[in-house]
A and B are shown apart, each in its own frame.
Chain A
Amino acid sequence: MNAPTDGAAGTAPALVIADVSKSFGDQTRRVPALGKVSLTVARGEFVSLIGPSGCGKSTLINIVAGLIDGYEGRVTVSGAPLDGPHPSIGMVFQDDSTFPWLSTLQNVEFGMRMAGVNATERRERAMEMLDLIGLRSFADRYPAQLSGGMRQRVALARALAMRPEILLMDEPFAALDEQTRMVLGEELLRLQEELQQTVVFVTHNLGEAVQLSDRVVAMTARPASIKAILEVDLPRPRDSSIVSSDRYGELVAHLWSLLREEAITAFNQRDAAQAGAVR
Chain B
Amino acid sequence: MTTVVRIRVLSVLAVALLWELLALSGAGADDFFPHLWTLAAAFGDVLTSDFAGDVGVTLFQLFWGASIGIVVGLVLGLLLATRPLVREIVEPLLVYLSTVPKIVLYPVFLLFLSVGTESKIAMAAFGAFFPVVLHTLGAVSDVRPVWLNAARLLHTSGGQRMRHVYIPAMAPTMFAGVRLGIATSIIGTVMAESKAADEGVGYRVIFYYSQYQIPQMYVVLLLVFVFSVLVAVGLDRLGRVLRLGGGHRTDREISL
Contacts and interface: CB of A to CB of B under 8 A. Distances in A.
B176 interface: no
A115 B146 CA distance: 20
Contacts of B153: 65, 67, 85, 89-91, 159
Contact of A95 (B146, B154, B155, B165): B146
Contacts of B149: 65, 67, 91, 93, 97
A66 B153 CA distance: 8
Interface in A54-112: 65-67, 85, 87, 89-91, 93, 95-97, 99, 101-102, 110-111
B150 A97 contact: yes
Interface in B106-133: none
Nearest to B150: A97
A93 B150 contact: yes
Contacts of A67: 149, 152-153
B179 to A, nearest CB: 18
Nearest to B167: A101
| Residue of A91, A95, A101 with most partner-chain B CB within 10 A | A101
A162 interface: yes
A114 B154 contact: yes
A162 B154 contact: yes
Contact of B165 (A91, A99, A115): A99
B160 interface: yes
Given A101-B169, A101-B243, A111 B155 contact: yes
Nearest to B243: A101
Given A87-B155, A101-B171, A96 B146 contact: yes
Interface string B146-175: 110111111110001000110011010000
A22 interface: no
- Which range contains the number of B residues in contact with the other chain? 10 to 19
A258 to B, nearest CB: 30
A110 B153 CA distance: 11
Nearest to A102: B168
B168 A162 contact: no
A111 B243 CA distance: 22
A155 B150 CA distance: 9
Interface in A130-168: 155, 158-159, 162
A264 B57 CA distance: 76
Contacts of B169: 99, 101
Interface string B48-86: 000000000000000000000000000000000000000
A247 to B, nearest CB: 35
Interface in B178-196: none
Nearest to A158: B154
B141 to A, nearest CB: 15
Nearest to A93: B146
B148 to A, nearest CB: 10
Contacts of A110: 151, 154, 164
A114 B165 CA distance: 11
A155 B103 CA distance: 51
Contacts of A111: 154-156
A82 B160 CA distance: 22
A115 B155 contact: yes
Contacts of A155: 150
Contacts of B160: 114
A236 B223 CA distance: 76
B175 to A, nearest CB: 12
B150 A91 contact: yes
Contacts of A91: 149-150, 153
Contacts of B155: 85, 87, 111, 114-115, 162
A90 B155 CA distance: 9
B144 to A, nearest CB: 8
Contacts of B156: 111, 114
A66 B156 CA distance: 13
B170 to A, nearest CB: 10
A97 B147 contact: yes
Interface string A33-48: 0000000000000000
B147 to A, nearest CB: 6
8 contacts: A89-B153, A101-B171, A110-B151, A110-B154, A111-B156, A115-B155, A155-B150, A159-B153
Interface of A: 65-67, 85, 87, 89-91, 93, 95-97, 99, 101-102, 110-111, 114-115, 155, 158-159, 162
Given A65-B149, A101-B243, 16 more contacts: A67-B152, A67-B153, A85-B155, A87-B155, A91-B153, A93-B149, A95-B146, A97-B147, A97-B149, A97-B150, A99-B147, A99-B165, A102-B168, A110-B164, A114-B154, A114-B156
- Pick the 7 closest A-B CB pairs, nearest first: A111-B154, A97-B150, A91-B153, A101-B168, A97-B146, A95-B146, A114-B156
